[in-house]
Amino acid sequence: MGIIIAVVFVLAMGIGAQAASEPRNLYWGCQGEDVAALQTQLNSLDFNCGKVDGIFGPKTYAAVVALQKSCGLAADGIVGPQTRNAIANLLTKSSSPLPILYQGCRGDKVAELQNKLKAAGFDCGPVDGIFGPKTHAAVVALQKACNIKVDGIVGPQTWEALSKPIPKPPAESGTPSRGNSVPKYTKVLNMVATAYCPCNKCNYPYGGQPSYIGLPLGHGIVAVDPNVIPLRTRLYIEGYGEAIAADTGGAIKGNRIDLCFPDHQSALNFGIKNVKVYILE
């Protein structure tokens, strides 16, 4: 009996040693040197988690979630085998001159991004090297216009889109008559139209919320620059139909308008177009 107990004890010790050799999963609340190592890796990859203090808090959690989203992983904020492998793969490519950028990043590469967005006609505010809400909104607008994944994260696909000419909208058709097709109007504006839908991707970080004036998102709700078109103005939009100016957006400045569609694919199919916007009586 004593021999059997000794054998079981040795086996248990061996299993315990093997388990101890496996990296533990890291998540909100964990502390230790392995958390500090994770934070160092995240910061080196431009997923800013703040001070390297060995404490897995809200900033580290947000950086892990952003990394998981950029890699197409489940965004649960838990650093397990898949996330560790993704970090390792990114570290091998960290010498790339085009890092992954997201809201909260700062530095010269963010300023480079902002310059490219402005050159492409997407207003991201001042070129200050800070990836804030306006830069995020401009990135989302660019992604919509180029029919690429709309997540507000600047990865290889978005950098590639910025390196190419933005898709040109089709030539404008003639102005419709004031007959049956267009209701009575007082003014016509030539505008650049993009598209969105009520999903969380299109409305980050305001997913699930109504429009600026409180109307639920859906077909007929459009975002405008209130300095160009006052909110609550009734509109007719060429190729879209009647609408109401009910929302705003960080990238919607000047003669730009964002049209709400009932689903994400419809918004992607619309892309970016030049349209005539009729201010209705």
What the chain holds in terms of domains, given with CATH numbers, is 21-87 (1.10.101.10), 108-162 (1.10.101.10), 185-280 (2.40.40.10)
- What is the distance between the alpha carbons of residues 159 and 61, in angstroms, rounded to a whole number? 25
- In tens, the pLDDT along 55-108 reads 999 889 989 999 999 888 999 999 999 999 999 888 766 555 678 888 888 888
> Is residue 6 very low, low, confident or very high in pLDDT (cuts 50, 70, 90)?
very low
- Mean pLDDT computed over every residue of the chain: 81
- In tens, the pLDDT along 180-192 reads 456 788 889 999 9
Query: Is residue 45 within 8 Å of residue 107, measured between CB atoms?
Result: no
What share of the chain has pLDDT > 90, as a percent?
22
Q: Identify which of 17-21, 105-109, 247-251 has the greatest average pLDDT.
A: 105-109
Query: CA angle, corner 122, sides to 139 and 150, nearest 5?
Result: 25
Query: What tokens were used for 60?
Result: 């580290």
- In tens, the pLDDT along 28-39 reads 999 998 998 899
What share of the chain has pLDDT > 70, as a percent?
83
Residue 13 has pLDDT above 60, yes or no: no
- In tens, the pLDDT along 109-131 reads 899 899 888 888 888 888 999 98
Give the predicted TM-score (pTM) of the model. 0.38
CA-closest candidate to residue 219, choices 181, 247, 259, 258 = 259
Residue 12 has pLDDT above 80, yes or no: no
Contacts of 149 (CB under 8 A, 6+ apart): 143, 157
- What is the distance between the alpha carbons of residues 241 and 281, in angstroms, rounded to a whole number? 15
Contacts of 220 (CB under 8 A, 6+ apart): 241, 242, 243, 244, 260
Mean pLDDT of all residues in 152-180 = 63
Query: Is residue 277 within 8 Å of residue 257, measured between CB atoms?
Result: yes
H-helix segments, the chain = 2-21, 33-44, 58-70, 81-92, 108-119, 133-145, 156-162, 264-270
